[in-house]
A and B are shown apart, each in its own frame.
Chain A
């Protein structure tokens, strides 16, 4: 198992290096530079622009910039974000917990909600409830994440303003609330982005879980359980669900990249101060180090998620350990 993990870690490192290199090249090839928008002022002279570029090393040839970047990476430095005027490590360090909180809540919520829906569907298979839930799952499964996010934003902050319109906390009042008030404030801000991701991801989980449950229901041990006199809910919960969870472990790994990508859009729309929000804004301002740093952290998260899924699967299924 350790050798397997080591092999996967080496593969992950190679993938991250390739992704970082491609991102570095692409973002530098895009027209514009970090000082295009900031310097949109008729009073700014060329000397000033050149001084700014020189300060950050953008006057150097691209290969030299790349070598410098790789060198700083080797020293554990992700570079300097000029849109935040802070080290990229600090920017992403403060953003990552917010992203992980959002993704964690979304992952837990979507799996809990998705499995619950699948159990309801399977226990009432063929009924109107089953068909309605299938249709709803398909609806959310097919829906683009940004579109659902915009819809949720408009519905609950504009037409029916019961949730705040963005951010992780109320910038005006949060500092002046007590502990309870701060927790409530944070939960109110978390609700809409988390709900959007939960709805999107739980649709996938529900469809996978329903199919997996239907696969195990004809099995002999289920028939035996029925003969023992167990009720249908007990059979589903105690026997069918446990065995049908194996494919869902794979789904954890598969849904990680999708969830991370979805988080980028959702964070932007709800101004959730996470990594996705920081990177999307950095693309607009051509904050090269922050974009590349965000992509590196993102690809590490994705490869680790995939590795975790494989390891869990191997632990759950001894045949894969050979």
Chain B
């Protein structure tokens, strides 16, 4: 059926006289990658982007000074590869790093990339009127100085094991000449935001909201032209439609197949699947504070022993198998296996239903009613488990947990909520328990915001369950401050053990990303933090191309955006 579709497309192109030249097929470069996605990018400004789709696109348009390697090492500069900076020098006291800008690097409008662009990127991100979510990631950077146009020196407040990572990972560099005349508060609404100019391997062509984003290869790029000529994000209203577009041949790639989709993809001989580790983990989070009066502990989950009993009554391996089949592993804790610092053998609270029942009995929660449910002093052992109605996976988890805990005499009411309502309830700490999921950064230090005391006490912190343990906080702080990888791993292991034994959550799953793609696409490595990082190295062999691979660049892509008044193209 897909072949028929390609044949029809070819006919249409021939009739309209629009088939691109075959010369592009003669070499290894060329071809179009159409990516199915279920959502629009939020914005295409690196310092403001929040959505995953937005990050994918901006990472293709913009470049960093250096890129994290496939090992995701964050200590020092080991493994980092040159991008806009062709080399760098550490200050003698390690409180500064001087980045030398590659002299060949140019913005897509032809202006050379200079050190003032680097300084501008950091200064604008720190500007509170911009409201950049990345501002909190660069707090250790004091300032950037520019001794000459090719050198940008980062100055840090304190020496830190991950200061190189802090300098280069959170932010691609933005062109000062495009943005400096626009007040930061107006960036989102500006024309520049709708016609981004970067220095990355792909140039922006067009963004049709809720429909598509198109990029074209920057053939004059200082790093050499990427292999694929064109990238298109085909934006569907939801995941099923995005999948249908892949299956019907309208697109070539989808980033996350669900377990039930894999057999369907296997029926299409032209499609392939590939698995990749991610930085995601899911959990059932208990609210340790009373949802009505936050000053009081939660009447059920305030008790550590009870939380442990609930964890013991949950067969996590069976849950993950039921929901994900083989496309996830049981989560280890508030961490992921992709971190070099994570011990895959972290001790867990074992599944032990008889022991869970004993603990609940000993706490006074006894089976008293005819329906085998537990209660204490007339209060039933019952709570509400909130899930976003948009997540089929989390709903499945909730139903299975409901059944497993019923066997321990615990009544669970599953509550499906519209996603904004779900988030609002979490932010206001107005829930009993909720199934959540975090996508973390390559730095394990991100755990402080989501499970540390600071994240619990801040008015809008992300530690929604209000778990607080000074031992956990201190151990994580020590680990993050350690320069020695072995000590770092040892301390993080201790911190994870502490939180696992405190059971502020039932750690559910660590999904394994399964991408679906057309067999003519030759993929390379996919990184756990960003599967798209190596797209410039992906290719389509000339003999396997289909009509859309040979479509000529659109008129929009051949015309660089206009420069601000008074500026000349070099």
Contact = CB atoms under 8 A, between A and B. Distances in A.
Nearest to A87: B189
A99 to B, nearest CB: 14
Interface in A148-206: 153, 157-158, 161, 164-173, 175-181, 184-185
Given A30-B421, A85-B193, A171 B462 contact: no
A184 B12 contact: yes
A207 interface: no
A41 interface: yes
Interface stretch (B93-101, B221-229, B403-411, B547-555): B547-555
Interface stretch (B134-142, B292-300, B337-345, B346-354): B134-142
B237 interface: yes
A32 B423 contact: yes
A262 interface: no
A220 interface: no
A161 B210 contact: no
Interface string B40-54: 101100000011000
Q: Among B17, B131, B425, B446, find the residue whose CB has the most chain A CB atoms closer than 10 A.
A: B131
Nearest to B246: A165
Contacts of B34: 172
B16 A178 contact: yes
Interface stretch (A136-144, A270-278, A294-302): A270-278
Interface in B9-61: 9, 12-13, 15-18, 20, 32, 34, 40, 42-43, 50-51
B282 interface: no
B219 to A, nearest CB: 18
B132 interface: yes
Interface stretch (A46-54, A70-78, A108-116): A46-54
Contacts of A17: none
Interface in A72-102: 80, 82-86, 91
A31 B136 contact: no
B246 to A, nearest CB: 10
Given A41-B50, A84-B209, A173-B551, A165 B244 contact: yes
B277 interface: no
Given A51-B129, A164-B250, A176 B552 contact: yes
A39 B244 CA distance: 29
A45 interface: yes
A45 B18 contact: no
Chain B interface residue number, banded? 35 or more
Contact of B441 (A36, A43, A52): A43
B210 A166 contact: no
A40 interface: yes
B537 interface: no
Given A85-B188, A281-B237, A41 B211 contact: no
B234 A178 contact: no
Contacts of A161: 1, 5, 247-249
A201 to B, nearest CB: 23
Contact of A181 (B15, B135, B460, B552): B15
A285 to B, nearest CB: 8
B455 A42 contact: yes
Contact of B423 (A36, A177, A180): A36
A231 interface: no
Contacts of B208: 171, 273
A268 interface: yes
Nearest to A267: B237
A130 interface: no
Interface in A15-46: 30-33, 36-46
B132 to A, nearest CB: 7
Contacts of A210: none
Nearest to A272: B237
A286 B423 CA distance: 13
A284 interface: yes
A297 to B, nearest CB: 17
A158 B247 contact: yes
A55 interface: yes
Contacts of B461: 46
Contact of A36 (B209, B241, B420): B420
A31 B422 CA distance: 9
B13 A177 contact: yes
Interface in B503-537: none
B212 interface: yes
B419 interface: yes
Nearest to B36: A165
A274 to B, nearest CB: 10
A48 B34 CA distance: 34
Contacts of A173: 9, 12-13, 547-548, 551
A271 B16 contact: no
B135 A48 contact: yes
Nearest to B446: A42
Contact of A42 (B18, B128, B234, B449): B449
B418 interface: yes
Contact of A166 (B193, B236, B424, B450): B236
Given A46-B459, A284-B420, A172 B232 contact: yes
A172 B371 CA distance: 58
A286 B107 CA distance: 36
Nearest to B212: A171
Contacts of B9: 173
Nearest to A278: B210
A165 B34 CA distance: 14
Contacts of B91: none
Q: Rank and list the top 10 A-B pairs by shortest CB-CB distance, nearest first.
A: A32-B420, A171-B212, A178-B16, A51-B131, A46-B460, A181-B16, A31-B424, A42-B449, A31-B421, A161-B248
Given A44-B50, A86-B209, A177-B12, 15 more contacts: A36-B419, A36-B424, A43-B133, A46-B458, A49-B460, A85-B43, A85-B193, A164-B250, A171-B212, A172-B551, A173-B551, A181-B12, A269-B237, A273-B208, A284-B420
Interface of A: 30-33, 36-49, 51-52, 55, 80, 82-86, 91, 153, 157-158, 161, 164-173, 175-181, 184-185, 268-269, 271, 273, 277-278, 281, 284-286
14 contacts: A39-B133, A45-B136, A48-B136, A55-B131, A158-B244, A158-B248, A165-B245, A166-B237, A173-B12, A175-B554, A176-B18, A271-B210, A271-B211, A277-B210
Interface of B: 1, 5, 9, 12-13, 15-18, 20, 32, 34, 40, 42-43, 50-51, 128-137, 185, 188-189, 193-194, 208-212, 214, 232, 234-237, 241, 244-245, 247-251, 418-421, 423-425, 427, 438, 440-441, 446, 449-450, 455, 458-462, 547-548, 551-552, 554
